[in-house]
């Protein structure tokens, strides 16, 4: 194609494209369907922290209580604030950290130490059609891309049965619970609300 036509085509393309580039995806799957470690989750919305919660998945009744921190990607959070439900492509990270009590000037109470586990949940009805539209993942210390946990993993049943909104534990997220309550999206059978 002559150069001037090429240029005209580019100009036309520039006009058709939206002014704002689409938001970068907040997670990616590799060619072999593994979830790449969502390395920027600490820039997402913080939902809550739990301490020494005994439900699992890494709870150790004999070890010291751990902290857990829950994050969701920002656009899913905004959708939830409007609707009380999670959009497709919502992604949640449960970051588990050891508890420490003595350090620097602190002599009592507890603060958070090193990460001991990263657990992830993704809502994607097409990709995870075989598991009700939700996929669970666990990352190893090397943060290698992770395969979806099989549907026999305990995660699926516990979240489906006990999560207050869809597969998630909104009953433990104090800023989301009143929203779900007001929008009437809490599952009636869910405990804890």
Residues that bind ligand HEC (CB under 6 A): 48, 50, 53, 55-57, 68, 70, 92, 94, 119-121, 136, 138, 149, 153-155, 158-159, 163, 167-169, 172
Smallest gap from Cβ 177 to ligand HEC, in A, equals 11
Smallest gap from Cβ 22 to ligand HEC, in A, equals 25
Cβ proximity to ligand HEC, 45 vs 121, nearer residue: 121
Cβ proximity to ligand HEC, 138 vs 183, nearer residue: 138
Residues with Cβ < 8 Å from 22, sequence gap 6 or more? none
Which of 118, 159, 158 shows the shortest CA–CA distance to 138?
118
Which residue's entry shows tokens 């070890």? 63
Which of 72, 76, 78 shows the shortest CA–CA distance to 88?
76
Instruction: Work out the angle at residue 20's Cα, subtended by the Cα atoms of residues 15 and 22, and round it to the nearest 5 degrees.
Output: 110
Smallest gap from Cβ 4 to ligand HEC, in A, equals 54
Cβ proximity to ligand HEC, 37 vs 92, nearer residue: 92
């Amino acid at each position: 194609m002559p150069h001037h036509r090429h240029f005209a085509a580019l100009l036309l393309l520039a006009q058709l494209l939206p002014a704002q580039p689409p938001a970068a995806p907040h997670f990616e799957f590799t060619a072999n369907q593994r979830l790449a470690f969502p390395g920027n989750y600490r820039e997402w919305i913080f939902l809550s922290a739990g301490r020494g919660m005994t439900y699992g998945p890494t709870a150790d009744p004999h070890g010291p209580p751990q902290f857990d921190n829950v994050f969701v990607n920002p656009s899913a959070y905004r959708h939830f604030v409007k609707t009380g439900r999670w959009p497709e492509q919502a992604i949640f990270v449960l970051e588990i950290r050891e508890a420490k009590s003595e350090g620097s000037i602190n002599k009592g109470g507890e603060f958070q130490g090193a990460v001991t586990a990263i657990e992830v949940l993704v809502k994607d009805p097409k990709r995870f059609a075989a598991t009700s539209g939700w996929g669970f993942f666990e990352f190893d210390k090397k943060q290698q891309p992770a395969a979806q946990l099989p549907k026999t993993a305990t995660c699926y049943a516990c979240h489906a049965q006990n999560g207050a909104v869809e597969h998630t534990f909104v009953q433990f997220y104090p800023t989301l619970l009143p929203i779900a309550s007001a929008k009437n999206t809490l599952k009636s059978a869910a405990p804890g609300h």
